[in-house]
Structure 1
Amino acid sequence: MTNKKPFVIAIAAVSGGGKTTITSRLLDVLPNSIAIYFDDYDFEECPEDIVAWVKSGGDPNEWTISPLINDLLKVIHDGERRIDYILMDYPFAYGHKEMKEYIDFAIFIDTPLDIAFVRRILRDFEAAAIEVVRDDLLGYLSHSREAYIHMLKTIKPDSDFIVDGSLSLADIVEILREEIERRVEVNS
């Protein structure tokens, strides 16, 4: 890669859509890459009630994501090591006005809601009692599904590239690798 500035890639999907897994796999295939994971941060200024936040429009700008932006800028300006790609497991694509200027390419993994939901249940409730799983299922039906739909209506159309999340992991990673390399070449 000839650019001095790393190519910043935001990867979004609904919960269970494959963001973390695909980000991790892309680290293996993109040379000189580093990942930043949104879920690693404990944001102090963010909506307390996600359901109410979504019902009021789900504006990403209601999140103060300064710690994530500060870490991103440290990586961008790190002169000690070569970094060509910064992969961000990040739910908002270009939706957050402060982060928008740093993103070069926003990807949305379009995973069917049934697949994403099953993945999330398997991931989050592996050893949970059936009552806990039942309560989560009821919560999904009564309000959480609305958050998934909100992402499909707002973040998906705001992304540069949409990949079918029902494809195999290997196929998704290969499609994204090829598209990222093509975008970098075009922007060089």
Structure 2
Amino acid sequence: MNKGKLPLVIAIAAVSGGGKTTVATQLNQSLQNSKILYFDHYNFEGPDDMIDWVDRGANYDDWNLVPLIKDLEGLLSEPLDYIVLDFPFAYKHTKMSKFIDFAVFIDTPLDIAMARRVMRDFKNNSIDDILLDMKNYIAQGRRGYLEMLKTIKPNSDIIVDGTLPLLEIIHKISTSVEKM
């Protein structure tokens, strides 16, 4: 149990469909005295056109993360040992980076991430909707995925193979966290 020290903040990053939420949730369940915050539970002010944002240099500070920061600051005052963040930007957002103690990148091959995203996001859609999404991905969207591989992955403390079984991923992260 935490005795007056701040909780260790662990950020889990990956491309869309890369396993952020699954890994963050499982990690939170496996850690003692922890809480979790999910990036997707917020409606942030940010770039309207993701591809234009990537083409302009992908400044992660373009995202207004004040609601997440306020919730994180609230958790930092609780007697926790860990805070797990399902957070795609790792250390790349200036205001958030000062809170993160350990950033994990789940390195999931883009074909697997895309298949997971389609299964998750298009369960009740027509094949035409899926084909249109694939066309958009090939034409433009893939650049967003590659941006993360170029900037978030190398700026993480640990890179974990996203094709490993979930419990093995959790074990690798937990082992690294214990060494801190």
TM-score by length of 1: 0.92
Q: What CA deviation, in whole Å up to 9, does each residue of 1:140-174 have, x standing for no partner?
A: 00011000000000000111110000111111111
Q: Which residue in the other structure is 1:71 paired with?
A: 71
The code of the aligned residue for 1:108 comes to: F
2-structure distance, mates of 1:29, 1:11: 14
Kindly tell me the number of residue pairs found equivalent between the two proteins. 179
Q: Which residue in the other structure is 1:36 paired with?
A: 37
Q: Which residue in the other structure is 1:117 paired with?
A: 114
The code of the aligned residue for 1:46 comes to: G
Counterparts in 2 of 1:135-174, with a 5 A limit?
Answer: 135-174=132-171
Gap regions ≥5 residues in structure 1: 184-188
The code of the aligned residue for 2:48 comes to: E
SS of alignment partner, residue 71 of structure 1: helix
Q: What CA deviation, in whole Å up to 9, does each residue of 1:72-94 have, x standing for no partner?
A: 0000012xxx3110000001111
Contact 2:2 2:80 in 1 (8 A): no
The code of the aligned residue for 2:80 comes to: I
Q: Which residue in the other structure is 1:25 paired with?
A: 26
Structure 1 ranges of 4+ moved more than 4 A: none
Question: What's the RMSD between the two structures over aligned residues?
Answer: 1.1
Q: What CA deviation, in whole Å up to 9, does each residue of 1:99-144 have, x standing for no partner?
A: 1111000110000111111010111111211011011000100011
Gap regions ≥5 residues in structure 2: none
Deviation of the 1:51 alpha carbon: 1.4
Deviation of the 1:178 alpha carbon: 1.2
Between 155-164 and 172-181, report the one with greater CA deviation: 172-181
TM-score by length of 2: 0.96
